[in-house]
Amino acid sequence: MSTVQAILDDAIEWKTWTSDAGMLAFLTDLQSNILKGHGRDYTANIFLSFEGMPQEKISALLQTLSYLTTSALDQLRAAAAYSATKVSGGRVLCVFLTANGYQRLGVAQSDMPADLAFRAGMQARGALPSLRFKNIPVDFPGINDPARSGWERGGPWDPGKGNPDAMVLIADDDAGLVSAGVNSLKDAFMDAGVTVLGVDRGEAQRRRQLNGSPKGEGLEHFGYVDGVSQPLFLVEDFRANPAWSEAFVPSQFIVPDPAKCTPFSCGSYFVYRKLEQNVQLFKKQEEELAAALKLTGNDEERAGALVVGRFEDGTPVALHPEGQAGVPTNDFNYAGDNQSDPLTATCPFKAHIRKTNPRTAGDDNERAHIMARRGITYGKRNRESVDEDFSDHDQPTGKVGLLFMAYMSDIAEQFEFTQSAWANNTNFKIQNTGVDPVIGQQPNGPADIAWTDAITASSAMFDFKAAVKLMGGAYFFAPSISFLQKGQRPIAVAALQ
Ligand code: HEM
């Protein structure tokens, strides 16, 4: 029988649960969406405050939620059934707690997730002027988040409201069922005395591509295929994508649950950021960058690809001078580049996907910062079908964006490192690279930076201004299901070994 350490140290072959009691116990107690994205097109993220509730009531509420929570095993079996039958796996429900939520529950310090960034919370960490990371004795730029007073008004992040203690995520392929789920939970919350701070609704945007998924590839609002590059850690998944996914071990995304309700209880740290996208500004700047680089005709599309690192259809700019409609590729690195020369780089060092995953061949230190991204878009667009692009006449300046969500085992070394040491650092990967043009948050305002198109060898100074703004967010932990069930009470551990 596998031990929990053995499970976390090697790629997970989940189907062994039928013969391995350790794997069965691990998968039954781990929440869904961590090992693999739930893939549903509609979500509701319900943010809760436990203020004023006695600990027993919070504990009873979590116990009720535990019976509704989807386990990793439920999710993986439903996905296998869907592949065989095309019958939807139905609803997925996940529960998350902030450090404040743990405190209100009265959990012993030793049973509470220890990550320092988690305990401090996103707002406190986002306001720090600089950050330091493991084994690197220099200061990096702070996350530079806007203050709470600048967050979205009216919803869960309204500056007049308190911070969330918990989040419940409901996901389904049927928007009506998600709404029904929210309504029935709201009744239960009201009975328990919980304050619902608000609900963020996610709605996937899709576009069907040649040889791609019949459902269509997931798009973000700037029009690019998203969710392509994922660290796979299920043996069953990376058998199909062996080249770069293989080296990720589950312990990079999953940690033992400190409450140790069973010897196999695990959880994961979770970063939630509501990022609003100004589509009009982004698209206008793509055109201006193309003009500045004198890119015309088919080459014009390359301006956006230099910004993102992929064409809209997902083709990596490092592999092709033009998009190649089809299934987006992920098995590549930048090994052919002269790592110090922007003139010959196949993908600009400042491109979003190079800033957030530099893909230096064989560099495990770089790969240690990768997170398991599980985001979904929010907001409406006026499209008739999944065969259409977003229209040029439908370019919102707000109210649409990305609910960025990611699982990891260390918030500072993964999310914060990516945002601070890479995205916000003008000198990464080489001097004067500039900040990440998609998510960079810089304290000193915009600046002209040299852009180069290696194909035409054309260069121009251009200031690609931020079109993404943080509207709210928090650091959470997705505890084991047995923790939700048993809360802070002493646990009689079942005889599993
Ligand atoms: C509205 C905000 C954002 C937009 C529009 C956006 C868009 C995209 C797109 C189009 C891709 C390429 C598709 C893919 O490889 O999956 C991508 C990849 C990626 N993004 Fe973002 N993203 C956003 C926020 C973030 C944030 C906040 C982070 C982390 C701090 C992040 C980290 C990544 C990473 C790690 C990749 C994969 C890079 C690779 O492995 O090649 N993104 N993003």
Looking at residue 490, what is its pLDDT?
Answer: 41
Give the mean model confidence (pLDDT) for residues 474-483.
Answer: 98
pLDDT at 363 over 90: no
Give the mean model confidence (pLDDT) for residues 82-108.
Answer: 94
Both tokens of 483, joined, read 């923790």
Rounded to whole angstroms, the Cα distance separating 363 from 37 reads 26
DSSP string of 210-251? TTS-TT-EEE-TTS-B-S------BHHHHTSSHHHHTT--GG
Residue 322 Cα to ligand 1 midpoint, Å, equals 20
Rounded to whole angstroms, the Cα distance separating 60 from 163 reads 21
Rounded to whole angstroms, the Cα distance separating 301 from 322 reads 8
Index of the ligand 1 atom closest to the CA of residue 356: 35
List all residues whose CB is within 6 A of at least one atom of ligand 1.
Answer: 220, 222, 224, 226-229, 273, 275, 277, 308, 310, 352-353, 356-357, 401-402, 404, 415, 418-419, 423, 438-439, 468
Looking at residue 83, what is its pLDDT?
Answer: 87
Asked whether the CA dihedral 68, 74, 76, 77 is positive or negative, the reply is: negative
Looking at residue 215, what is its pLDDT?
Answer: 87
Looking at residue 491, what is its pLDDT?
Answer: 39
Rounded to whole angstroms, the Cα distance separating 418 from 337 reads 21
pLDDT at 342 over 80: no
Rounded to whole angstroms, the Cα distance separating 303 from 282 reads 11
pLDDT tens readout for residues 422-432: 999 999 988 99
Reduced 3-state DSSP string for 438-465: CCCCCCCCCCCEEEEECCCCEEEEECCC
Residue nearest to atom 18 of ligand 1 (CA): 353
Looking at residue 497, what is its pLDDT?
Answer: 32
Residue nearest to atom 8 of ligand 1 (CA): 226
Rounded to whole angstroms, the Cα distance separating 320 from 315 reads 7
pTM: 0.96
pLDDT bucket at 196, cuts 50 / 70 / 90: very high
pLDDT at 456 over 50: yes
Rounded to whole angstroms, the Cα distance separating 475 from 232 reads 23
As a whole number of Å, the CA-based R_g of the chain is 22
Mean pLDDT of the chain: 93
pLDDT tens readout for residues 24-56: 999 999 999 999 999 999 999 999 999 999 999
pLDDT at 489 over 60: no
CB 378 within 8 A of CB 402: yes
pLDDT above 70: percentage of residues in the chain: 96
Does residue 464 sit in helix, strand or coil? Answer: coil
pLDDT above 90: percentage of residues in the chain: 80
Side chain identity at 47, as an amino acid letter?
A: F
Residue nearest to atom 30 of ligand 1 (CA): 419
pLDDT at 296 over 80: yes
Residue 404's DSSP bridge partners are: 273
Instruction: Identify which of 222, 226, 390 to mutate to test ligand 1's pocket (most ligand atoms within 8 A of the CB).
Output: 226
pLDDT tens readout for residues 393-405: 999 999 999 999 9
Give the mean model confidence (pLDDT) for residues 210-222.
Answer: 91
pLDDT bucket at 244, cuts 50 / 70 / 90: low
Residue nearest to atom 14 of ligand 1 (CA): 228
CB 411 within 8 A of CB 475: yes
Residue 309 Cα to ligand 1 midpoint, Å, equals 10
Place of tokens 């069953």: 236
pLDDT bucket at 492, cuts 50 / 70 / 90: very low
pLDDT tens readout for residues 437-448: 999 998 766 688
Rounded to whole angstroms, the Cα distance separating 297 from 301 reads 8
Residue 349 Cα to ligand 1 midpoint, Å, equals 15
Residue 2 Cα to ligand 1 midpoint, Å, equals 34
pLDDT tens readout for residues 253-276: 999 999 999 999 999 999 999 999
Is there a cis peptide before residue 429, judged by omega within 30 degrees of 0?
yes
